[in-house]
Amino acid sequence: MIDQAAFARALLDPALPAPADSLAWNGSDPAARLAVHRNNVMMSLLGVLTDTFAVTRELVGDAFFRAMGRDFVRAQPPAGPVMAEYGAGFADFIRAFAPARALPYLPDVARLEWLRLVALHAADAEPLSAAEIAARVGAAADLAHWRLRLHPSFAVLRSDYAAVSIWAAHQAARDLAGVDLRASETAWVVRRDLDVEVIPVDAAAGVFAAALLAGQSLGVALEAVGREALVLDLPATLAALIRCGALVAIEPTETANE
Reported pTM: 0.88
Confidence at residue 27, expressed as pLDDT on a 0 to 100 scale: 53
Q: What is the pLDDT of residue 173?
A: 81
Nearest to 234 by CA among 223, 248, 249: 223
CA pair distance 70, 15, nearest whole angstrom: 13
Q: What is the dihedral of CA 232, 190, 119, 125, to 10 degrees?
A: 110
The reported pLDDT for the residue numbered 141 is 64
pLDDT score recorded for residue 3:
56
Q: CA–CA separation, 45 vs 73, rounded Å?
A: 7
CA atoms of 68 and 72, how far apart (whole Å): 6
pLDDT of residue 75: 92
Residues of the chain with pLDDT under 50: 1, 258
**CB-based contacts of 1: which residues, under 8 Å, 6+ apart?**
21
Asked whether 72 and 133 are in contact (CB, 8 A), the reply is: no
155's enclosing H/E stretch is strand 155-159
> What is the model's pLDDT at position 33?
58
**How do strand 185-192 and strand 195-201 relate by DSSP bridges?**
antiparallel
* Residues 67-91: tens digit of each pLDDT: 999 999 999 999 888 888 899 999 9
The pLDDT of residue 139: 65
Helix (H, G, I), strand (E, B) or coil at 79: coil
pLDDT for residue 1:
45
